Amino acid sequence: MQINPMIRNNICLNSHPKGCAEATRAQIRYVRKEMSDGPVPAGIPKLVLVVGCSTGYGLASRIAAAFGYGAATVGVSYEKAGSESKAGTPGWYDNLAFDTEAAKEGLAALTLDGDAFSSAMKADAIKAIREVAAKAGIPAKVDLVVYSLASPVRSDPDDGTLYRSVIKPIGKPYAGLAMDVLSGALTEVSVESATDEEISHTVKVMGGEDWALWIEALGEAGVLAPEARTVAYSYIGPELSWGIYKEGTIGRAKEHLDATAKKLDARLRASGGAAWVSVNKALVTRSSAVIPIISLYISSLFKVMKAKGLHEGCIEQIVRLYRHRLYSAAAARDPSKVATDAEGRIRIDDLEMRADVQQETAKLMAEIDEGNLAEKADYAGFRHDFLETHGFDVAGVDYDADVDPSGL
């Protein structure tokens, strides 16, 4: 069958197996090129667990660890397999492509599909860590845990209560322009303020509780290296989005993530490890296209950053995170040398937040309307990235050819 994008309300309902695989291989090629400049120095991770490994920042984190540092990896994600008649989710194909390329290169890797919030998945991951370590001939001690989940729901592992996360402002409604990915139409949308329950539920899903449970489970099972490092991802962004993001429900969850990082850090530092939140750049991933104002902001930001030669995608961001922050020459053996801001967060959103970039982006956004969007902003780039995360619009893929969605 042929597969064409089915998009409703900025959500793409299907994906293209070959396109997802090719986009994943393109990230692998980038990593090989950028990270293959010499022997891997001491202190670099050898056994890496990525929670949320299939798409976006998590996939990039796994690719860079495996193909950049030669690490054995265990990945956990929640994706839907394709069948003969129906395409699966993009992450399903991304994982298949990762596994295929890792096997070709002789890299030990296991990918688990299921609910990362559950205790059963934590037990499965611990088993997988032991298996992967045995295959790689290294001790079963994870030395890097990347926590990159973005989920709308979480079922409490103890009592089964279902919590839903929402993207809403707190205290007052938020009005901003939403951009339709397909047509470029701009519509003023207003989002009502969250209830107290919505706030606490969002913190329960997207805060740090589950991250801490992962570290605890790994520690108790004896599969966490004493010098283990762990990082979870966050976003801050420009003031004009704070109403819906930083000062909204997700922002509250990210505050909880910050507080969790401090607690985990205190625990891990005692044995030579460390925990951080890394604040990353705004990018088009499956999660970010549905937040009002963010898609218009990203389109404007990309225009400015591309013009200045500063643009990065997920993989460029993560390669920089590893090489210039987490495992820089100074920090590879000593986590206290990892560059952070005053709050202890790693900032790879530094280029996005540069004063000149922010000023020019804000100026551009003030000038944009539906008539000049394509010319003034990088609407084409946004649209391309959105399609590409679902395996469409990927260079070198023949979209007229028949494809079997049950595999690659």
Ligand X SMILES: NC(=O)c1ccc[n+]([C@@H]2O[C@H](COP(=O)([O-])OP(=O)(O)OC[C@H]3O[C@@H](n4cnc5c(N)ncnc54)[C@H](O)[C@@H]3O)[C@@H](O)[C@H]2O)c1
What string of DSSP letters covers 322-367?
IIIIIT-TTTSS-GGGS---TTS-EES-TTTT-HHHHHHHHHHHHH
Q: Check if the beta carbon of residue 276 is closer than 8 Å to that of residue 338.
A: yes
What string of DSSP letters covers 63-126?
HIIIIIH--EEEEEE------SSS---HHHHHHHHHHHHHHHTT--EEEEES-TTSHHHHHHHH
What is the CB-side half-sphere exposure of residue 369 using CA atoms within 13 A?
A: 1
Q: Which residues contact 175 (CB under 8 A, 6 or more apart)?
A: 188, 189, 190, 191
Q: Which of 28, 140, 283, 368 binds ligand X (CB under 6 A)?
A: 283
Q: Which of 17, 19, 45, 58 binds ligand X (CB under 6 A)?
A: 58
Q: Can residue 76 be called a binding residue for ligand X (CB under 6 A)?
A: yes
Nearer to ligand X, 57 or 276 (CB): 57
Give the interface segment with ligand X, choosing from 214-222, 241-249, 282-290, 356-364 (CB under 6 A): 282-290
Task: Quote the longest CA-to-CA distance of the chain.
Answer: 60
Q: How many residues bind ligand X (CB under 6 A)?
A: 29
State the Cα–Cα distance between residues 292 and 78, nearest whole angstrom: 25
**Which residues inside 82-111 make contact with ligand X, applying CB under 6 A?**
91
Which of 232, 235, 229, 327 lies closest to 279, judged by CA?
A: 235
Nearer to ligand X, 300 or 332 (CB): 300
**Which residues inside 145-164 make contact with ligand X, applying CB under 6 A?**
148-151
Task: Output DSSP code: residue 193.
Answer: P
Nearer to ligand X, 79 or 143 (CB): 79
Give the interface segment with ligand X, choosing from 285-293, 299-307, 335-343, 370-378 (CB under 6 A): 285-293
Q: Can residue 233 be called a binding residue for ligand X (CB under 6 A)?
A: yes
Bridge partners (DSSP) listed for residue 231: 146, 276
Smallest gap from Cβ 120 to ligand X, in A, equals 11
Smallest gap from Cβ 204 to ligand X, in A, equals 13
Q: Can residue 53 be called a binding residue for ligand X (CB under 6 A)?
A: yes
Q: Which of 16, 168, 229, 286 binds ligand X (CB under 6 A)?
A: 286
Locate 67 and state its tokens: 């193909």
Nearer to ligand X, 27 or 280 (CB): 280
State the Cα–Cα distance between residues 237 and 302, nearest whole angstrom: 13
Q: Which of 235, 297, 322, 392 binds ligand X (CB under 6 A)?
A: 235
Q: Which residues are marked as active site?
A: 245
Give the interface segment with ligand X, choosing from 15-23, 216-224, 276-284, 358-366 (CB under 6 A): 276-284
Smallest gap from Cβ 184 to ligand X, in A, equals 20
Nearer to ligand X, 229 or 256 (CB): 256
Residue recorded with tokens 């079997």: 404
Residue recorded with tokens 């890496």: 48
Smallest gap from Cβ 261 to ligand X, in A, equals 12
Q: Can residue 234 be called a binding residue for ligand X (CB under 6 A)?
A: yes
Nearer to ligand X, 43 or 152 (CB): 152
From residue 8, give the alpha-carbon distance in Å to each of 138, 194, 336: 47, 24, 46
Locate 93 and state its tokens: 């194909």
Task: Output DSSP code: residue 401.
Answer: S
Nearer to ligand X, 163 or 174 (CB): 163
Q: Which of 27, 73, 77, 241 binds ligand X (CB under 6 A)?
A: 77
Smallest gap from Cβ 366 to ligand X, in A, equals 22
Cβ-closest position to ligand X: 56
Q: Which of 30, 69, 93, 117 binds ligand X (CB under 6 A)?
A: 117
Binding site for ligand X (CB under 6 A): 52-58, 76-79, 91, 115-117, 148-151, 233-235, 280, 282-283, 285-288
